[in-house]
A and B are shown apart, each in its own frame.
Chain A
Amino acid sequence: AQKVTQAQTEISVVEKEDVTLDCVYETRDTTYYLFWYKQPPSGELVFLIRRNSFDEQNEISGRYSWNFQKSTSSFNFTITASQVVDSAVYFCALRPASGGSYIPTFGRGTSLIVHP
C-alpha cells in the first residue's frame, strides 16, 4: 500500500521568507513517480514537478526547489523569497511506475498562506 504524508496542515509566512513544505511517502514499489501540485483558490491543480524514483538529483526552477531523499523517503519542496501569489494548497503525490496500476496517492495537502 502507498501512503503520502504531508504533516503540515497549514503554514503561514510573511512575504520574502523562505518556506519548506514537507512530504514523506511509503511504498513497496521499487520504481515510482513523485509529484507536487499547486491548487490556488480558483481550484485548478497545477502540475509543478515530476520526479522518478531512480533520479535523486535535486531540482531548481526559479524560486522553487525540490529535495528528493530516497533514504528518508522524503520529497520536500522549498519556495525561496515567497510571494503572496504563492498562497495556495500544495499537494504531494506518488504513483507506481510499474505493475499496471496508475492510480496516484495524494497527501492531504499543505495550505500555504503568504502575508504581504
Chain B
Amino acid sequence: GAVVSQHPSRVICKSGTSVKIECRSLDFQATTMFWYRQFPKKSLMLMATSNEGSKATYEQGVEKDKFLINHASLTLSTLTVTSAHPEDSSFYICSALGSGQVEGNTIYFGEGSWLTVV
C-alpha cells in the first residue's frame, strides 16, 4: 500500500517558538492532504485540507495564522505551529489522498507527531 511519512514523530518546543511538521507521500503523488489534531482518547479533528499549489482550506475555528499549511509539491505538505503555547500540545496527524488505480480514493495516514509545548 501507499506510504505516508510524517516527521518529526515527537517534538518538544518552548512556548513562543514555532515548530514545523512535515508530511510526505513516499510512493505516490498526493494532490490533497489533510491535517488532523487528536486529543487523548478522542476522535480525529480535521484542521485543514491542503491542496497542492493552492491555499489550504481551514475548518471553522482553526486559526490559519497560527497553523500555517504549505503544500508546495505533490509529495510534501508542511504544518507550522507558530508561537506555540502549551494548549497547542497535541497529536497531529497528516493524511494523503492516494492516486492511481490501486491506491486511488483511499486516504493514507502518516505516523503522527506528538507536540509538547513547555
Of the stretches B43-51, B71-79, B80-88, the one at the interface is: B43-51
- Please tell me the size bucket of the interface on B: 20 to 34
Task: Assess whether A55 is interfacial by the CB under 8 Å rule.
Answer: no
Q: How far is the CA of A33 from the CA of B106 in the complex (A)?
A: 8
Q: Are B93 and A47 in contact (CB under 8 A)?
A: no
The number of residue pairs between A and B whose CB atoms lie closer than 8 Å in the complex comes to: 48
Q: Are A43 and B107 in contact (CB under 8 A)?
A: no
Task: Assess whether A1 is interfacial by the CB under 8 Å rule.
Answer: no
Residue pairs across A and B with Cβ atoms less than 8 A apart, 10 shown, are A43-B111, A43-B114, A44-B111, A47-B108, A50-B106, A95-B107, A103-B34, A103-B46, A103-B49, A104-B34
Residues of B within 8 A of A (CB): 1, 32, 34, 41-44, 46, 49, 91, 93, 95, 97, 105-112, 114
Residues of A within 8 A of B (CB): 33, 35, 37, 42-47, 50, 91, 93, 95, 97, 102-104, 106-109, 111
